[in-house]
Homo-oligomer: A and B are copies of this chain.
Amino acid sequence: MLRAQGRAVHQCDSGWVPVFVDQEQSISLMSVGFLLESPDEAVVWRGPKKNALIKQFVADVAWGQLDYLVVDTPPGTSDEHMAAVEALRPYSPLGALVVTTPQAVSVGDVRRELTFCRKTGLQVVGVVENMSGFVCPHCAECTNVFSRGGGEVLASLAGVPFLGSVPLDPELTRSLEEGQDFIRDFPKSPAFPALFSIAQKVMSEAPARLS
């Protein structure tokens, strides 16, 4: 998505140097993908080994000064989530951004993730509903491919902010497939105002703590 595949991670005195994805060095990235020899290689690791690497990604990477550190986790409430919460606790994380799709089956899973946040004392910045309706590019009619409204109901039940819905959007997919800059290249896409408004709400709910 960020055209960073195949890039290498180097060592410096203060730890691993993250991969910079743009010339301005405004986004730096660390991923287990950079440590593998081939993109086909499977990370067949049990919990303890994953936990150790997640801790290293927080503590042993020379992140420098950041506005936001975004940790993209798999779905669920397992080793990865516990390890990330534990590794980040000393830094008082701003909170969890919880993403669901509209249908009841996903909302059920995500309810359990909200319980996890409560149990581990992680604040919930808000809920985002993804894959929320599809505007046909041929006839402009909207279809709720995956039911609708689940994210908003979930946020209201859990008493956390609902940050918005992102529609299914072939232009967003294409942009991610080709590593394009969505903000620059697709300002008229239906997902654009949705993502822009969510980003603004996140920044106002959880402003960066500049030191």
Interface hit among A60-68, A102-110, A192-200: A102-110
Kindly identify which residue among B42, B104, B114 contacts A119, using a CB–CB cutoff of 8 Å: B42
Chain B residue numbers with a CB within 8 Å of A174 are 147
Contact A134 B145 (CB under 8 A): yes
Contact B141 A138 (CB under 8 A): yes
17 pairs, CB–CB < 8 Å, chain A vs chain B: A40-B112, A42-B113, A42-B115, A42-B119, A43-B78, A43-B112, A44-B82, A45-B78, A47-B79, A74-B75, A74-B76, A103-B173, A103-B176, A136-B143, A137-B143, A145-B173, A147-B177
Q: Would A170 and B144 be within 8 Å (CB), given that A40-B111, A105-B177, A177-B103 are in contact?
A: yes
Cα–Cα distance between A173 and B132 once the two chains are bound (Å): 13
Chain B residue numbers with a CB within 8 Å of A136 are 136, 138-139, 141, 143
List residues of A whose CB falls within 8 A of some B CB.
1, 39-48, 50, 74-79, 81-82, 103-105, 108, 111-116, 119-120, 134, 136-139, 141, 143-147, 168-170, 173-174, 176-177
Kindly identify which residue among B45, B46, B111, B116 contacts A44, using a CB–CB cutoff of 8 Å: B116
Kindly identify which residue among B44, B76, B112, B169 contacts A41, using a CB–CB cutoff of 8 Å: B112
Cα–Cα distance between A169 and B145 once the two chains are bound (Å): 6
**What 9 pairs across the A-B complex have the smallest Cβ distances?**
A47-B47, A139-B139, A138-B141, A136-B136, A42-B112, A42-B115, A42-B116, A42-B77, A104-B177
Chain B residue numbers with a CB within 8 Å of A41 are 112, 115
Chain B residue numbers with a CB within 8 Å of A75 are 74-75
Cα–Cα distance between A119 and B38 once the two chains are bound (Å): 15
Kindly identify which residue among B45, B76, B143 contacts A138, using a CB–CB cutoff of 8 Å: B143
